[in-house]
Amino acid sequence: MRRRRSGAARRWAVVGSGVAVLLSLPSLIGALPASDAGTPAADLRRAALASTGVAFSGYAQAAGGLALPVGEQLTGVADLLSDRTTMRTWYRGPADWRVDVVSPTGETGVHADASGTWTWDYVANAATRTPQTALALPTAPDLLPSALGRRLLSEAGDGELSRFGADRVAGRDALGLRVVPADQASSVGRVDVWVDAASGVPLRVQVFGEAGGEPAVDTSFLELDLGTPAADVVDFTLPPAAELRAGQDPQLLQAATRGTRGVLALPDVLAGLDRRRIDGAPATVGVYGRGVTLLTVSPLPGRAAAGLRSALADAPGAVVDDLGVRIAAGPLGLMLADGPDGTVLLTGTVTLDALAAAAGELTGGTS
């Protein structure tokens, strides 16, 4: 078996863990008027979360509008956030699905089973096996509105929810459900999710920054057919002549922190956000917040920090002070903070003020 593991991926894995929710697509409205069932917001949220058992096949598009100043160090994640992604999907259940990413140069298929995923590159005739991990870089299936909508609704409180009408999405009646995050640290102004009135499947998702305007995140089904796809469409069998590659594993994020000078002390609360306990996550990585307001913290090796520091400092709107350097790319914040034990990377859907407050708490500096 031929094992390939990019050094850049190891260095930048922590950045990707904080940006998995930032995906987008242009507006697409159905031709027919939609019927609003008047379902209360809390009931509509419950229907969306219960839709994991609804099988379907469909066609979706996503187009990112966020430019990450990371150069070639995080090409795959940067492409997801800045380019158009076209997908065909077949979904039989939470651990039994397939998503094909269609591009002008070919197709890449992702097949999920109970223990992980197979990624099949048709052009390269290569398959990558990736086991389930506690934290992972975002991939194209994270762009699907069904998965993204459920993720963003999963931790929303009833007080953060409201209804805002209906629309036609993928030819179906879709009920509007809005989330306005209550956390003061959040850089997200609101999340709008259109939920299929009949099945509860999220059909479209938009995420807006604090300033409103155009959505920073917008992903939608263009076609959706309810019904269980055939098993042989979703299953994957490794072709005899294919190259086998190893995907990321639980050591990926741990590798990102190798070479740091000290052990970062992670508090239970940071910038007013509670720390999340994630089974299997490296002890050196801290994830804070809930719902659409998330902050990821990790020490960063010197060589990786140097390249990112230069890219961030040159980005429009960069703030450089005694704490380090920080930028906002839409709702996404990125910061390198300088502490006595080395460099700390902070990234997530929080404000620049929240990044500065967190950096001061971690390093003993003044925000």
Number of CB atoms found within 10 A of residue 28's CB: 15
* Tokens read off for 94: 């939470």
Could you tell me which of 196, 210, 99, 110 has the C-alpha nearest to residue 144?
A: 99
Q: What percent of the chain has pLDDT over 90?
A: 50
Task: Dump pLDDT digits (tens) for 82-94.
Answer: 567 889 999 999 9
Q: Is the confidence at residue 20, as pLDDT, over 60? A: no
pTM of the model as a whole:
0.82
Task: Dump pLDDT digits (tens) for 222-264.
Answer: 999 999 999 999 999 999 989 998 765 544 555 555 555 556 7
User: Which residues are within 8 A (CB) of 124 and not within 5 positions of it... i.e. 6 or more apart?
Assistant: 243
Average of per-residue pLDDT across 133-143: 76
* Radius of gyration (C-alpha) of the chain in whole angstroms: 20
**In the CATH hierarchy, which top-level class contains the domain 252-363?**
alpha beta
CATH architecture observed for domain 7-246: Clam (2.50)
CA distance 332 to 296: 11
What pLDDT is stored for residue 314 in this prediction?
85
* Whole-Å CA distances, 83 to 28, 63, 78, 180, 223: 17, 5, 8, 27, 20
Mean pLDDT, all residues of the chain: 82
What residue segments make up the domains of the chain, in order of their start? 7-246, 252-363
Higher pLDDT, 72 or 244: 244
Instruction: Give alpha helix (H) positions in the chain.
Output: 7-17, 41-49, 75-82, 145-153, 231-234, 252-256, 302-313, 352-363
Task: Dump pLDDT digits (tens) for 303-360.
Answer: 667 778 888 888 888 999 999 999 888 888 889 998 777 888 898 999 999 999 999 9
User: Which residues are within 8 A (CB) of 196 and not within 5 positions of it... i.e. 6 or more apart?
Assistant: 51, 169, 172, 173, 174, 175, 202, 203, 224
Higher pLDDT, 217 or 258: 217
Q: Quick one: DSSP state of residue 17?
A: H
